[in-house]
Amino acid sequence: MLINIHLFVFIYPKEDLKFGVAAFLNYCAMSFIRYIERLRRMDCLISLMTTGTPSEFAEKLGIGRSILFQYIQEMREMGVDIRYSNARKSYYYANERRIKILVEDYNPENKTANKLI
C-alpha cells in the first residue's frame, strides 16, 4: 500500500514579493526539497536493505543519528512499519506500505503541473 503525498509549489515572480519574503520562501523551499530527497534516499536504502547500522545509515544520509531516528519516527507516524534486523544490520520494511512523494509546480492560470522532484 502506498501513502500518496501530493505537494504543490506555487512560484511567484520576484517582483510580486518583497525581497526578504522571496529570500525566505526560497530558503524554505530548498530546505524542504533537501528533506524530500533525503526521505527518498532513505526509502531506497531501506527497500534494498542496505542501510547498515544506524550510525552507518546516518552517515550515508549526511545526518546525525538523532536526526535519523526523528526521520524514522516520522515515517512510522505516517503508518510505515520500519524495523531493524540485527542479523542483516539493516533497516527493512515489515510490510508493503510505502511513502510516495510527488512535488509539482502548479500553474493556476492554465491548471497545469510540472514535476519538480
Q: Is the pLDDT of residue 80 over 80?
A: yes
Whole-model pTM: value is 0.70
DSSP string over 47-75: HHT---SHHHHHHHHTS-HHHHHHHHHHH
1-5, 8-12, 39-43, 101-105: range with highest mean pLDDT: 39-43
Name beta bridge partners: 113: 106
pLDDT at 2: 45
What CATH architecture does domain 2-115 belong to?
A: Orthogonal Bundle (1.10)
**For the segment 6-58, what is each residue's pLDDT rounded down to a tens digit?**
454 555 555 555 555 666 666 677 788 788 889 889 999 999 999 999 999 99
Return all residues near 55 (Cβ < 8 A) that are at least 6 apart.
Answer: 65
Judged against a pLDDT cut of 70, whether residue 110 lies above it is answered with: no
C-alpha cell at 13: 515572480
What phi and psi, each to the nearest 5 degrees, are found at residue 2? -105, 140
